[in-house]
Amino acid sequence: ARQARFLGAMSLLSLDRLGPAFEALQQLQAEAPSAVVANAMGVVQLRREVLGGERLRDRVRHRERS
């Protein structure tokens, strides 16, 4: 059941539904702390970052194209 909830959170993350993904990960982390869950939470936080009006992910993609 825990693995299914984690995979559900990863699906939300891939759909850029960052709020619900983070909430699901927070619940998992509260139940049983895990490095994997903490890492995924960090990914969500990085994707939430806004740098100069652009999302961090967009900046990385721009750099990759250059």
- Two structure tokens written together for 49: 């970052």
Q: What integer pLDDT is reported at residue 16 of this predicted model?
A: 86
Q: What integer pLDDT is reported at residue 14 of this predicted model?
A: 92
- Output b/e per residue, 19-45; b: 16+ Cβ within 10 A: eebbebbeebeeeeeeeebeebbeebe
Q: What integer pLDDT is reported at residue 56 of this predicted model?
A: 56
Q: What integer pLDDT is reported at residue 51 of this predicted model?
A: 38
| CA separation for the pair 6, 30 (Å, rounded) | 13
| CA separation for the pair 17, 57 (Å, rounded) | 14
| CA separation for the pair 40, 55 (Å, rounded) | 17
Could you read off the pLDDT of 9-60 as tens digits, one per residue? 999 999 989 999 999 999 999 999 999 999 999 999 988 874 334 555 566 6
